[in-house]
Amino acid sequence: MTKKAFLESLDIPEGIPCSYEDFIIVCKKDSLEIKKEVKIPNVTLKIADNKITFESKKGSKNEIKKIKTVIAHLKNIFSGLNEPFVYRLESANVHFPMTLKVEGSKLVINNFLGEKVPRTAEILPNVNVEIKGQEITITGYNKESAGQTAANFENATKVVNKDRRIFQDGIYITEKPGDKKHG
């Protein structure tokens, strides 16, 4: 049983030039530039006529899944070049007041659960972090970087070996891009 060739294409929005070289797709708009590594074995990628075209000779399930995943990532890149992705987080402390401060590419969390040694979380490149009281706003044009930074903040204050109903201290994501507004 022979598999059929699989061809899938994605339209590039107006005003966003894209190039592909050495397995890296580069998309630009004004001064913004987002790069994405795309390495799918047995799949050729071409950019022509404002379209990104993926072609697979066999069209196996795995190749089709990988192509669809890359297309979803590229759609996120296109929407990120038009409007930044915003994550909102909130710091909650029941027992000890913690202080948050941005130092270079790290978020420093002091006095978390009364700990003497500060905890840190990495801020990925091209991501802006703004702290106003208990509210933290993460803004970035690359959804992967902004989302990973939000996850780093949440993981830095993860409480283990304690009852989560009592020890509710931590940093929690309250709003993600694409969340439906309630009310």
pLDDT digits (tens, 9 = 90+) for 6-15: 889 999 999 9
Q: For 49-86, what is each residue's pLDDT tens digit?
A: 999 999 998 888 999 999 999 999 999 999 999 999 99
Give me the domains of the chain, ranges plus CATH numbers.
Answer: 6-82 (3.90.930.12), 85-175 (3.90.930.12)
Q: What is the mean pLDDT of each run of 10 residues along the chain (183 residues)?
A: 79 92 92 91 90 90 93 94 94 88 94 92 95 94 95 92 83 87 51
Stated as kind and residue range, the H or E segment containing 146 is helix 143-156
Question: What is the structure's pLDDT at 149?
Answer: 96
Provide the mean pLDDT of the chain: 90
Using a 10 angstrom Cβ sphere, with 0-12 exposed, 13-18 middle and 19 or more buried, the burial of residue 120 is middle
Write the CB contacts of 44 (distance below 8 Å, at least 6 apart in sequence).
54, 55, 56
pTM: 0.85
